[in-house]
């Protein structure tokens, strides 16, 4: 009888130890997944994409080549930018030329090269489409390639202008030569600053962004992401100010990236298995 009890208890004890051990290893306090680089790279791609959209929309309503610009002409522009608009061709064409040398812009970033926009109507016109591409375009030394398509969907149920934005971007790091790929489908709501457009006032413009994305970071790790709380982007700030992203790097745990509650700074938080890590945005 004792042998029978022992033979029964032994496998039960082994199973208990294995079960307890596995659960202990995966508990938040024993989490070994602390990788935040991919989250930083994804945020950098988000920020770069929003920056391109802002540059294009501000440039559409700003003069022709050689026009003098001040900060009221567009916070993402600069004295050295030339804006060329061709409204004869169909679709219309817009060339935003920062020159071949770094152009210091009003938002504190250096840009060079060209952003090319092909469009069927003004940014505010319902049904208009803007297709954006690049010609030797760099931001702070990082090479940006690819394209964006921005479609004005008219006013949504909340009364805000809504835009569908499809993005396919490759960014080459200026220091390492490594590349980041980024593809996303997003909805962009214009929630503030709409009424001051005619006054060339962009600093009060605020957008809320939803959608999903995928890509590879600068180290080649694949990822997917979904915005779980709308990202808040104010054109007066160079960083995403609020919102959360559920982020899934290949082979890693799902993590949450939290951009805060509206403060303009380059700090966000990544939470992995209940443990939070501060990150500095690029």
Q: How far apart are CA 73 and CA 64, in angstroms?
A: 12
Calculate mean pLDDT across residues 129-139: 97
Q: How far apart are CA 184 and CA 122, in angstroms?
A: 23
Query: What's the token pair of residue 32?
Result: 């070994």
Instruction: Give the CA distances from residue 184 to residues 77, 167, 209, in Å, rounded to whole numbers and listed in that order.
Output: 25, 5, 12
Q: How far apart are CA 217 and CA 277, in angstroms?
A: 19
pLDDT tens, position by position, 178-223:
999 999 999 999 999 888 765 567 778 899 999 999 999 999 999 9
Query: DSSP assignment, residue 265?
Result: S
User: Judging by beta carbons within 10 Å of its beta carbon (0-12, 13-18, 19+), is residue 18 exposed, middle or buried?
Assistant: exposed
pLDDT value at residue 71: 53
pLDDT value at residue 67: 47
For the CA atoms of 189, 195, 196, 197, what is the dihedral angle to 10 degrees?
Answer: 60
Calculate mean pLDDT across residues 42-70: 75
Other Cβ atoms within 10 Å of 7 Cβ, number? 9
Query: DSSP assignment, residue 196?
Result: G
Calculate mean pLDDT across residues 240-265: 93
Q: How far apart are CA 164 and CA 128, in angstroms?
A: 11
Highest mean pLDDT pick, 16-30, 31-45, 116-130: 116-130
pLDDT tens, position by position, 70-114:
555 577 788 889 989 898 988 999 999 999 999 999 888 999 999
pLDDT class of 64 with cuts at 50, 70, 90: very low
Q: Which residue has the higher pLDDT, 89 or 28?
A: 89
pLDDT class of 2 with cuts at 50, 70, 90: very low
DSSP conformation letters of 203-214: TT-EEEEEEEEE
Q: 0.75 cut: is pTM over it?
A: yes
pLDDT value at residue 197: 66
């Amino acid at each position: 009888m004792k042998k029978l009890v022992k033979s029964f208890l032994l496998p039960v004890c082994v199973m208990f130890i294995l079960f307890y051990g596995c659960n202990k290893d995966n508990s938040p306090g024993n989490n070994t997944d602390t990788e935040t680089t991919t989250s930083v790279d994804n945020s950098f791609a988000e920020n770069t994409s929003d920056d391109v959209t802002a540059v294009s929309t501000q440039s559409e309503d700003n003069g022709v080549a050689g026009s003098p610009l001040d900060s009221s002409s567009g916070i993402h522009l600069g004295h050295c930018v030339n804006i060329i608009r061709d409204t004869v061709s169909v679709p219309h064409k817009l060339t935003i030329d920062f020159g071949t040398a770094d152009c210091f812009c009003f938002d504190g970033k250096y840009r060079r090269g060209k952003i090319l926009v092909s469009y069927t109507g003004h940014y505010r016109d319902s049904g208009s489409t803007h297709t954006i591409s690049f010609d030797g375009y760099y931001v702070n030394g990082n090479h940006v390639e690819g394209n964006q398509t921005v479609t004005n969907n008219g006013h949504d149920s909340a009364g805000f202008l809504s835009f569908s934005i499809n993005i396919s971007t490759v960014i080459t790091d200026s220091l390492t030569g490594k590349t980041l790929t980024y593809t996303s489908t997003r909805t962009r709501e214009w929630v503030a600053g709409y009424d001051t457009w005619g006054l060339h006032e962009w600093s009060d413009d605020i957008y809320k962004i939803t959608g999903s994305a995928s890509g590879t970071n600068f180290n080649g790790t694949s990822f997917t992401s979904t915005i779980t709380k709308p990202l808040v982007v104010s054109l007066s700030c160079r960083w995403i100010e609020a919102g959360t992203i559920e982020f899934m790097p290949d082979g890693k745990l799902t993590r949450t990236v939290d951009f805060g509650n509206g403060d303009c700074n380059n700090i966000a938080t990544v939470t992995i298995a209940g443990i939070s890590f501060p990150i500095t945005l690029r």
